[in-house]
Amino acid sequence: MHIKKNTFLLILLIISNIAYSDNKIPQNTINWILDRDHIQKPRGGNTNGLPTEIDVSVSKYFTKLQNLSNKKDKDRHAILSMIGEYRANFEFTEMYGAPTDYPLDIPYKSWGTEIVLPITNMENMISLQHILVMYMQNKDGEVQGPYVQKHWRQDWTYEDKNILVFEGDKKWVNKNIQNVNGTWSQAVYQVDDSPRYESYGLWKHEKGVSRWISDITPRPLPRREFSVRSDYNLISAINKISVMEWGWVMEEINDKIQTPDIYIGSEYGVARYQKIQNYNFQPAYDYWDETKDYWNIVREAWSKILLNNDRICLKDKVDDNPLYIYKFNYAEEFKTKKSLIESYKNINSIINKFIDDTC
């Protein structure tokens, strides 16, 4: 096709104006970063929540981090800077696939309001618990909630030589790592504190940001995927966590694999945790105060299993129910009975039923 020179220059000018427009948007005023709504409507959480107010104050950990000189101390304060109250936006967009005619999946968007609180804060180990508190608003403006949900947990360990590696199909193996000088492992656990994935990497600190980038990490499919996809059973991921004065961001490059070695495609994901204020998170703190002793027993039970076994395999369901159903039901019982002995028996009994000794 022949295009006249003046027409071609006009097209270039238009493209340049689009690419370098001065119509910049403050990041605090938008919820979504990745977007192709104009060609593919996203799936995921589409309910409306209460309006949130951005908290422009800087956490005490991040403030102190800027004045530290010791590398390990800076690492610890970067991890502790994730503690707080947030609006979290989750975006995952499939970018490409292996076949020429690969059908790109529908992008996923969801959101939540949650707290991140410390369980353990020791020299070489930090454990952070996420708890969701959701308030829904219907079309008439009526507010429903709060809905409280214990969410995922992240454990950080300094120079961790033992990494739990996911192999696919609810199987994990303990792997010994040699070169761990200066690294921190991040172990991520499901809502019921069963294992999910673990990796390790180095923290890097610059003015305005502290960043941790993981080694390549095999991971199970998240609920948003295994509920709709059956063509792959493992994610090979690289995670980057960036901690800044206004919150933190977790970026994911997720390669989709059908084990042992069939590459399906890749997605890019970003979870953005923005600090908010004047939001009623008290139900989350109340829930944790009422159940933290119970969940401590759960964590101890899993710690013993993971420490004493080189390989762990889990069943999907027992009596048609997944593990988290039992765990949360026992947690509700604990809120009223407060029986540590009964909880100990229930937890160990149900975990043992889910462990698959035949794999």
CB atoms within 10 A of CB 30: 10
pLDDT at 191: 96
pLDDT at 151: 96
**pTM tops 0.85, yes or no:** yes
Closest CA to 89 of 40, 33, 153, 151: 33
Rounded CA-CA distance 281/49 in Å is 14
Question: Three-state DSSP class for 346?
Answer: helix
DSSP codes of every residue in 314-345: B-S-BTTB-HHHHHHHHHHHHHHH--HHHHHH
What is the token pair recorded at 109?
A: 């968007």
Rounded CA-CA distance 10/16 in Å is 10
Parts of the chain with a pLDDT under 50: 1-5, 7-19, 21
Bin 169: left if φ > 0, else alpha if -120 < ψ < 50, else beta. left
254: DSSP letter: E
Question: Three-state DSSP class for 239?
Answer: strand
pLDDT at 22: 56
What angle is formed at CA 203 by the lines to CA 305 and CA 303, rounded to 5 degrees? 10
Can you say how many angstroms the Cα of residue 42 is from the centroid of all Cα atoms in its chain?
A: 19
Residue 290, burial from CB neighbour count under 10 angstroms (0-12, 13-18, 19+): middle
pLDDT at 5: 47
pLDDT at 4: 45
Rounded CA-CA distance 109/96 in Å is 18
pLDDT at 141: 82
User: Could you identify the residue written with the tokens 């001065």?
Assistant: 22
User: Could you identify the residue written with the tokens 């593919």?
Assistant: 40
Domain chopping of the chain, boundaries: 32-279
User: Could you identify the residue written with the tokens 């689009």?
Assistant: 18
